[in-house]
Every structure is written in structure tokens, then in C-alpha cells.
């Protein structure tokens, strides 16, 4: 099983209790699929850095779970179809971003390197 982090942003029109019920529903979905939820962190209502669909704030929740890639695909589909979820992001925190092994292009010798005789 792999470790994943899920960030969800719910609509601000919902009451806090409704958002917590939605989060519990996501936990139940994952548990039913065979994944293990290890941590749920409810951040509450936060202001966005920029507007999303003319909305300026939303309820943030971060959930950590262990599951298979098939669980992630199913969860991603369900969250994409959910009306109360404005945005969601699934990441694997144990994977570091790949560094580009390319070096800057060498344009040849500079003027200082050329010897004029």
C-alpha cells in the first residue's frame, strides 16, 4: 500500500457540520474500498489567494491515507463529480520531485577565454 495525501476544498455555503459529514463520507468511501485513513486534519474556512468560480473562500480538509492506486482513481472520480467539493488534490508525500539532469546549454568559449594574438 502507498501513502497519499488528499486536500479538499468544500463550498463555503455549507455549514461546518455538513463539511465534516462530507469528510466522514470520504473516509467511509476509502475504508469501504480497503484503504486505511491514518489522519484527518480539518482546517476550517479559509480565504483563497484568488477567486475560484467567483467564490472567495472555502473549507479546507487534509486527509492522509494508505491505499492502492485503484482506490485513488475511484476517489478522484467521485470527488470530481461531487457538487460540494470545489477543488481537490491527491499527492504522494513520499515521492520527491524529479530533478532535471540537464545542464545549461554551453554556448562555447566566452570572449575572455579566447586568446587574441
Stronger pLDDT, 58 or 70, i.e. the higher one: 58
Domains of the chain (ranges; CATH) run 2-59+66-84 (3.30.70.60)
**What's the pLDDT score for residue 21?**
94
pLDDT tens-digit readout, 23-63: 999 999 999 888 899 999 999 999 988 888 889 999 999 99
**What's the pLDDT score for residue 33?**
87
Q: What is the mean pLDDT of the chain?
A: 85
pTM: 0.75
Residue by residue, DSSP assigns 46-89 as: EEEEEEETTEEEEEEEEEEEEE-HHHHHHHHHHHHH-SSEEEEE
Amino acid at each position: 500500500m502507498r501513502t497519499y495525501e488528499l486536500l479538499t476544498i468544500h463550498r463555503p455555503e455549507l455549514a461546518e457540520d455538513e463539511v465534516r459529514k462530507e469528510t466522514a463520507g470520504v473516509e467511509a468511501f476509502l475504508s469501504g474500498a480497503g484503504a486505511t485513513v491514518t489522519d484527518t486534519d480539518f482546517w476550517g474556512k479559509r480565504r483563497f489567494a484568488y477567486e475560484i468560480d467567483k467564490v472567495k473562500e472555502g473549507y479546507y480538509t487534509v486527509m492522509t491515507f494508505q491505499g492502492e492506486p485503484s482506490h485513488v482513481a475511484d476517489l478522484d472520480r467521485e470527488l470530481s463529480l461531487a457538487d460540494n467539493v470545489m477543488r481537490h488534490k491527491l499527492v504522494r508525500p513520499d515521492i520527491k520531485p524529479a530533478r532535471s539532469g540537464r545542464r545549461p546549454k554551453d554556448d562555447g568559449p566566452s570572449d575572455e577565454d579566447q586568446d587574441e594574438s
